[in-house]
Structure 1
Amino acid sequence: MIGRLKGLLAHKQPPWLVIDVHGVGYELEAPMSTFYDLPEVGREVALFTHYAQKEDSVSLYGFLSEAERRLFRDVQKVSGIGAKIALAVLSGVSVGEFARLVQTGDVTALTRIPGIGKKTAERMVVELRDRAVDLAAGAPGGLPSAGPVPADPLSEAIVALQQLGYKPAEAQKMAKAAVEEGDSAEIIIRKALKSALR
């Protein structure tokens, strides 16, 4: 079981990143909450990881905080939820905000996260309400910082939104409505997701 990786950030393109650990490149899938705070490519990074093995695939997921990893694991304990929706949850809301939505039973806000329908949101509230207090306690505070500006931030943001479950036309509309001159892909995605959750 791989629980944590520390090495050089070799590549980042939402939702994928590669960490070079002594010459071995580990490919991980990460939520946008982690991408917001990643250093520049070539800098050292340490991530908590979740290793998942299925019959036909092996996946490695990376998180900057233990609270994110715990939420990722807890959400998947809800029946009918897999890794893709768990990543969408972390990309759509912070750990603290998710805990608040579950505690207050805000099903409407939860259904604004891609891939979550009313029944799934209701199951989340019922099955995770007891754990929400612990999740909120472990959630880090502070706002995510913006990363470096990539070559074409708008295109990168549109691709990332599609990978989070939005349809191509919807992703394009969201990103174009959110973009302002000088924005990095991470900032565009963050603003688009915030607008979608209003």
Structure 2
Amino acid sequence: MATLAVLEPDALRRALADSDTKALTSVPGIGKRVAERLCVELRDKVDRPAPETATGAVGAGGIREQVAEALVGLGFTAGPAEKAVIAVLADDPDADASTALRRSLAMLGKAS
């Protein structure tokens, strides 16, 4: 999860496909050795990232899906997770995935 908080999914795929250990070591808890191991073990298991669009941005629907999936992966149920993400993106439609994830986690933490 820390990896997705620092790198967007396409950036992670690109880093693994290109063996970009520098990008991977920017994630807290991942050192040079672990980054190299991730590249070797996962290079062939991840799809190449799609070419960037003219804007280079993921649509709000894509961010909503990514953040909701991440929250479900953390153990939250799908309904409240989706509602939290929708509320966060309604307040800040330009939020990136990591910002939306942090704010959604804060919102879900207050609700429990």
Residue number in structure 1 paired with 2:88: 178
Computing the radius of gyration from Cα coordinates, the structure with the larger value is 1
Are residue 36 (structure 1) and residue 5 (structure 2) matched?
Answer: yes
Aligned length: 72
- Superposed CA RMSD in Å reads 2.7
The 8 Å contact of residues 64 and 85 in structure 2, kept in 1 or not, is answered as: yes
Relative to structure 1, is the Cα distance of residues 160 and 46 closer, same or farther in structure 2, using a 3 angstrom cutoff? closer
Superposition misfits of 4+ residues, deviation over 6 angstroms: none
Task: For structure 1, list consecutive stretches of 5 or more residues without a partner in the other structure.
Answer: 1-30, 48-62, 68-147
CA distance in 2, matches of 1:185, 1:162: 15
Could you tell me which amino acid in structure 1 is paired with residue 65 of structure 2? S
CA distance in 1, matches of 2:109, 2:83: 15
The 8 Å contact of residues 178 and 191 in structure 1, kept in 2 or not, is answered as: yes
Are residue 64 (structure 1) and residue 27 (structure 2) matched?
Answer: yes
CA distance in 2, matches of 1:36, 1:149: 16
Residue number in structure 2 paired with 1:196: 108
Relative to structure 1, is the Cα distance of residues 184 and 66 closer, same or farther in structure 2, using a 3 angstrom cutoff? closer
CA distance in 2, matches of 1:65, 1:185: 17
**For residues 115-138 of structure 1, what are the alpha-carbon distances to aligned partners after superposition, in whole Å with 9 as ceiling and x for unaligned?**
xxxxxxxxxxxxxxxxxxxxxxxx
Are residue 167 (structure 1) and residue 77 (structure 2) matched?
Answer: yes
Structure number with the bigger relative contact order (C-alpha 8 A, sep ≥ 6) is: 2
CA distance in 2, matches of 1:181, 1:36: 18
State, as a whole percentage, how many aligned pairs show the same letter: 17
1:188 CA displacement? 1.1
Higher helix proportion? 2
Residue number in structure 1 paired with 2:36: none
SS in 1 for 2:66: helix
Mapping for residues 11-30 of structure 1, pairs under 5 Å? none
The 8 Å contact of residues 64 and 86 in structure 2, kept in 1 or not, is answered as: yes
Higher strand proportion? 1
CA distance in 1, matches of 2:107, 2:83: 12
Could you tell me which amino acid in structure 1 is paired with residue 14 of structure 2? G
The 8 Å contact of residues 150 and 185 in structure 1, kept in 2 or not, is answered as: no
Task: For structure 2, list consecutive stretches of 5 or more residues without a partner in the other structure.
Answer: 31-55
Residue number in structure 1 paired with 2:58: 150
